[in-house]
Structure 1
Amino acid sequence: MTTREIPGRARGIAVRLIIAMALVVLAGGLTALLVAALAGPVFFHHHLIEVENSPGTTFEHAEAAFISASTLTLAVALGASALTSLAASLILARRIGATLGTMSTAAAQVAAGRFEARVARPQVGAEFDELADAFNDMATRLDHDELLRRRLMADVAHELRTPVATISATVDALEDGVQELSPQTIEVLRTQASRLTRLAADLAAVTRAETGALRLDRQPMVPQELLEVAAESARERYAAARVGLVVETSAQLPEVWVDTDRFGQVLANLLDNALRHTPAGGQVTLGASRHRNDVRLVVADTGEGIDPVHLPHVFERFYRVDTARDRDHGGSGIGLSITRALVHAHGGTITAHSAGTGTGTQFVIDLPTTTAPTDVGDRYAADLQ
């Protein structure tokens, strides 16, 4: 819960209504008591004096005086109760009405796309304060998502511009006879088409993973085997780039329940990312160890590192620490977003750590160790294509 916690429910609207009703009863009771104690005897005495020479028995006069005094006391008490009730109702109605009006106005602003709208805590009751906090949290999240959406659209447009422009220029050159359909030309077209295909596939992958449209076929796996398979798949690329690749694991680690294909994609993305940012002569280490009740997998490199200010954003779509450098490396910009979505689908967490530029980077994955898969990653209904 991101809103501020409210201690107890003593300030709830129901309690306030009960207090208001209690005040009404108390006001009527006190008024009746005061009138009966102060005005009643005096009124009763004057009434007896006035009717002293009137016809009738003393008992009849006393009864009439009592009825008159009681009627006066009851009338004054009911009047005081009515006034107190009216005042309490007006105060509560005005405060609740003003609060609802403010929230309605803010909601209309949010519906119109003005996500900066916020409401103050009305202090009418705990429920209204919680509602205001929840509304503000929602507006903040929508504002953040809108900024991400705008950046996503701008980044997608930028990503599409280069391959589309290259393909279009090459086709124009072929049509005008300026360029021949050589193997080099075909390779340029194929490369740019592959880039577009990869971008479309990555966007579909991260969307399906984040929205839950993903089926996981999980089975128990030894962590060391997962790392060894991932390292073996990447070893040729690392050798070509003259970057070392080492696997270091603790002994007798518990098994983890993973979809081997999907989790292989997680490790492949992290290894590709590490290779892009580790210069020749550097090293990437795959590690596994026990961390509390989880198994911790680490992909650590000795490469360029990341400024700590960028760490909270590295898993966001198209977020680039160095735009020009990353585009030269050819990444789609959403590989880490896919990685995070897949790790979360397995019920795990992933974080990035770096002491700064030039100090290398660590990606840490914590996976739960269970004897059977939980429903965290198995609730999905369609395969990720």
Structure 2
Amino acid sequence: MRAWQGLLRGFRRSGPARADCPVVGAESELLLRVLCHEFRTPVSTLASVTRALTDDRRPLSGDERRALNELARDQAGHLQNLLRDAASSTNALLLATRPEATTVPLGKILRGVALLVPDHRRRIRVTRRAGACPVPELRTRQVLVNLVDNALRHGPTGGQVGVYAALRRGGLRILVTDEGWLQPALFEAIRRPAPGAGTSGLGLWIVRQLVTADRGRMRVLRLHPRGVALEILLPGGPPTG
């Protein structure tokens, strides 16, 4: 399954087109909304990477600098793909497919994603086995960047943002947390079979499609005494060989 085809399938499950709403026009409208949303995350990510690389108050280690450079490269590539796909056709959601991403250890992705969160707000806990677990590189990075960006934007200002990963029976469990209040709209956003109007909840709908493409599941958890966690469950296990 390819990412954009999954998005289009999710849209088509919303029901048959009405006579006054042709499928082609509806697909083009969805494409525009998806692109508008998907541009926001890489742009804000590149801004965060730039700030981290130029912040003289906190010198970066060589590994941190390499991780940020890799993240910037991948997000710039994601923007290029979005632009190419948007320009290719009015049916770009159907045509804009990319080959299955290569797999890399989860820890390689998390090094750069975690640095998007300021030091004093960051909480990371990844077991050694989870960090070594192979995951699809492009989709997993985009899922985690979207969820971390979502936590930074919607969680309380100055609140802690956490990323946790461990291997459990049946697969890999990843949590992205913030200290906000759990809202009913969050449940609705990850359960709806098709995207709603506008961009509200669109990011989580996209994340769910990407997770589903890798045979994974997504759910919302309430933390105590306060906080929200987005949980990703992916099939997988420790590397072999």
Q: TM-score, normalised by structure 1?
A: 0.36
| Identity level (%) | 25
Quick one: which of 252, 257, 266 aligns to 2:143? 266
Choose between structure 1 and 2 for higher RCO, CA contacts under 8 A separated by at least 6 residues: 2
Q: Which residue of 1 aligns with 2:101?
A: 217
Superposition RMSD on alpha carbons, in Å?
4.4
Aligned match of 1:145 = 14
After superposition, the Cα gap between the structure-2 partners of 1:301 and 1:319, relative to the gap in structure 1 and judged at 3 Å, is farther
How many Å separate the matches in 1 of 2:161 and 2:17?
A: 31
Q: Are 1:227 and 2:96 matched, yes or no?
A: no
Instruction: Give how far 1:293 is off.
Output: 2.7
Q: Partner residue of 2:169?
A: 292
Higher Rg:
1
> Are 2:190 and 2:219, in contact at CA under 8 Å, matched by a contact in 1?
no
Q: State the 1:218 CA deviation.
A: 2.2
Structure 1 counterpart of 2:232, one-letter code: I
Contact 1:306 1:355 in 2 (8 A): no
Q: Which runs of 5+ in 2 are unaligned?
A: 1-11, 37-78
Cα offset, 1:335, TM superposition: 1.7
The alignment status of 1:338 with 2:206, answered yes or no, reads yes
Q: Unpaired segments of 5 or more residues in structure 1?
A: 1-142, 164-193, 321-326, 374-385
Match of 1:245 in 2: 122
Please list the CA deviations of residues 168-222 of structure 1 after superposition, one character each: whole Å capped at 9, or x if unmatched.
Answer: xxxxxxxxxxxxxxxxxxxxxxxxxx9xx89x96xx9x955xx99442132241x
Map 1:369-384 onto structure 2 (within 5 A). 369-370=236-237
Task: Tell me: CA distance 1:299–1:254, structure 2 relative to 1, closer, same or farther (3 Å).
Answer: closer
In the alignment, the residues of structure 1 paired with residue 206 and residue 153 of structure 2 have an alpha-carbon distance, to the nearest angstrom, of 17
Within 5 A, what are the aligned runs for 1:75-224?
A: 145-146=14-15, 207=93, 213-221=97-105, 223-224=106-107
Q: 1:305, CA displacement in angstroms?
A: 2.2
Q: Secondary structure of 1:369's partner?
A: coil
Name the aligned partner's letter for residue 311 of structure 1. Answer: F
Distance (Å, rounded) in 2 between the aligned partners of 1:252 and 1:370 = 8
Q: Which has the higher helix share?
A: 1
Q: TM-score, normalised by structure 2?
A: 0.54
For the pair 1:276 / 2:150, whether they are aligned, the reply is: no
The equivalent residue for 1:360 is 227
Q: Quick one: structure 1 residues 344 and 255, their matched pair in 2 at CA, closer, same or farther if it must change by over 3 Å?
A: farther
